[in-house]
Structure 1
């Protein structure tokens, strides 16, 4: 089992599982058995209280994906504590690139769909870079590339996801129910107190998971009942994790949680969500005629490049921030192309943007898949050329 867990922590393995699940969903949704696929994803179960009678797809999007967002928030906390984000000048370039790389695709989508009423609601769809996919592709094609490029991508993608989290919380929240929201905030405060070093030194014999897991489930249920998208609960708890070990601890809670949950996320959470969300029926048409699909494709393919590469270049030109001396601007261009992979969060945004119109959801998802595929091709070509050049310049001894 330890070997399986180690394999599932590898970027390439997680990306392959995610791709396979997405391909299964695509083939199934466009096969003679498409009705069985739709029946499967719309089968509902769960208690009626607190709006927890959800479809299988709902449990994947609201429940399982909260675990993924927990890891995103947790990784952000580690970056703030130990990584690039604790050094403002060193972090400035990828942080600005991430923000610009989220804003530019939204502006591209908004321009394509300007004056088209409800169609313009999908501006948030092309904003986010899929961390798992992008890092997996970089791992597959990046042999010979400087390690600093992966750090740049991770910082960019984590900040990018933070922007997406804020967008979901602010613009995609339903009608708020204040009582469960206040209760959720109170329990989040308790969750944060449990992460302090003082709490870690208490002579409590109860294992941390025995308290933390039920508390996390309660927080998730309360946030879901409040009308705020439940994935926000996962992100908030991840940001509250303690990323420094207390005296007597062999490992801090943040890294311990990542070690335990990353294999589960790679093997279950993201593949199941992809299976539930990526089943786009291309028989509905619209991929090359719908302005929703076109806006998403252009946002992911062109907007990401302009935002990330342009934002990073302008920041380096106009401020004291500078590019890592081991990287070139051609590397950043390839990375910006790869950042157009907008799978997981983009599919979620598509469903949140057009929840009342299934045809628009299909068009948006088709645009996500087409734009992400184009980003994979463009990024792979550019980064493969760069990797080959680095290998020629520094041949293995």
Structure 2
């Protein structure tokens, strides 16, 4: 290849990063690295003070009706990000899940069977690996669900780096598994990381039913749904169930279709996806990925908690998903995804071990009262996610050969 051709290919690859799904994954990696560097630099104190410093003061929250302990958590920027801003992320997840259930891949029983089976095994096996590594120790048990989640943006970002070398059927498989995975993660948060208060739960249910009635009445004013969502968020915040669940519930009430073909759900989803991907999730990552490595060497990776989380993501995810796909196909329960090979299925199974956003979120909930264990969990998450991303990329890079698809896409990178 001549020098001008090499330069042309390099420029083409660089541009493709910003046109494909790759950019979201690259952005998350960059944000995480910056957060870790800052948390271990001379401005670490300012970094922690920014997110953990008091915003309003106790006297302010004492004057506000509701669950004082929970509202006091919102006295920090970290609290507003995790319990407030992340509602947008979960709202977008809810919109995506509803759309997929009504008119997408999850609406077709033939197409959803394999991803659902794979996602279920891909959540169960990491938990078993986690418990095996920690020996079921009670100090760590709260974190067993941390390696059960898959980060859609991160995983699809790695796929984006490979351009169209990865078969479309496998990209669709990965996306569907990640969506089902999100449903499971939301259920885990609602069931295992909540301390429900009956009165506020009933009020939240009442608001949710009103929003469903608005849907049935074909209300077309988005502003009414926005107001109702804010009210629902406040009620869920006080209910003891994590506030972000309000985002998922609210999303399920947004109308999908109307008589004239207008889709409020799709319009809202298209409007919010860029904000969620390029603002909400990076801010969350920057606020939560910063872990101090002071006094921690490589030996810290061998501590029970980070080792269990990393092993759950790297080993548990790929073993659970790949073995389930293999068994389901061999037993004739489902068909192999079209146009792909077993090594490619293995590569995608490895990528499902990238658990950045949702794993960090669950880790914050699991070890809320223990900064040391919370930091150890972050080390395990970042390590396991990085290994899964690199290993998955290498396997797919070496096993995918689909030049006919790459030839059809002028924007695909030359890899």
Deviation at 1:385, TM superposition (A): 1.9
In structure 2, C-alpha distance between the alignment counterparts of 1:235 and 1:9, rounded to whole Å: 28
Q: Deviation string for 1:272-294 (max 9, x for gaps)?
A: 10011000111242632310000
Contact 1:106 1:126 in 2 (8 A): yes
- Give the one of 26, 37, 41 matched to 2:51: 41
Distance 1:239 1:284, change over 3 A: farther
Distance 1:309 1:193, change over 3 A: same
Which residue in 1 is equivalent to 2:358? 345
In structure 2, C-alpha distance between the alignment counterparts of 1:218 and 1:124, rounded to whole Å: 29
Deviation at 1:395, TM superposition (A): 6.8
Which residue in 1 is equivalent to 2:259? 247
Matched, 1:315 2:336: no
Which residue in 2 is equivalent to 1:153? 174
TM-score of the two chains, using structure 1 as the length reference: 0.90
Which residue in 1 is equivalent to 2:3? none
Contact 1:97 1:307 in 2 (8 A): yes
The within-5 A match list for 1:226-245 is 226-243=239-256, 245=257
Distance 1:279 1:254, change over 3 A: same
In structure 1, C-alpha distance between the alignment counterparts of 2:361 and 2:259, rounded to whole Å: 41
Which residue in 1 is equivalent to 2:288? 277
In structure 2, C-alpha distance between the alignment counterparts of 1:273 and 1:16, rounded to whole Å: 15
In structure 1, C-alpha distance between the alignment counterparts of 2:342 and 2:255, rounded to whole Å: 35
Of the structure 1 ranges 291-300 and 23-32, higher mean CA displacement relative to structure 2 is found in 23-32
Which residue in 1 is equivalent to 2:412? none
Contact 2:165 2:406 in 1 (8 A): no
Deviation at 1:8, TM superposition (A): 9.0
Q: Deviation string for 1:30-49 (max 9, x for gaps)?
A: 11111111101102336623
Deviation at 1:64, TM superposition (A): 1.4
- Give the one of 137, 140, 143 matched to 1:119: 140
3-state secondary structure, aligned to 1:118: coil
- The aligned length equals 379
Which residue in 2 is equivalent to 1:4? none
Contact 1:288 1:294 in 2 (8 A): yes
Contact 1:9 1:266 in 2 (8 A): no
In structure 2, C-alpha distance between the alignment counterparts of 1:375 and 1:98, rounded to whole Å: 16
In structure 2, C-alpha distance between the alignment counterparts of 1:345 and 1:115, rounded to whole Å: 22
Matched, 1:199 2:218: yes
Matched, 1:183 2:193: no
Q: Deviation string for 1:257-303 (max 9, x for gaps)?
A: 11111111122210110011000111242632310000001000000
Spell out structure 1 runs of 4+ moving beyond 4 A.
7-10
Q: Deviation string for 1:366-387 (max 9, x for gaps)?
A: 0000000001101110111233
Which residue in 2 is equivalent to 1:330? 343
In structure 1, C-alpha distance between the alignment counterparts of 2:388 and 2:254, rounded to whole Å: 33
Extract unaligned runs of 5+ from structure 2.
Answer: 1-16, 409-415
Matched, 1:86 2:107: yes
Which residue in 1 is equivalent to 2:71? 52
In structure 2, C-alpha distance between the alignment counterparts of 1:148 and 1:394, rounded to whole Å: 12
Which residue in 2 is equivalent to 1:20? 30
Q: Deviation string for 1:40-86 (max 9, x for gaps)?
A: 11023366233334111111111111111111111111111111211
Contact 1:8 1:263 in 2 (8 A): no
Q: Alignment RMSD, CA only?
A: 2.0
Distance 1:65 1:112, change over 3 A: same
- Give the one of 384, 390, 396 matched to 2:402: 390
Which residue in 2 is equivalent to 1:30? 40
In structure 1, C-alpha distance between the alignment counterparts of 2:79 and 2:178, rounded to whole Å: 25
Contact 2:225 2:254 in 1 (8 A): no
In structure 2, C-alpha distance between the alignment counterparts of 1:326 and 1:82, rounded to whole Å: 24
TM-score of the two chains, using structure 2 as the length reference: 0.87
Deviation at 1:179, TM superposition (A): 1.7
Deviation at 1:394, TM superposition (A): 6.2
Q: Deviation string for 1:69-113 (max 9, x for gaps)?
A: 111111111111111211112211111001100110011001111
Q: Deviation string for 1:179-202 (max 9, x for gaps)?
A: 221111111112122223x424xx
Deviation at 1:248, TM superposition (A): 2.2
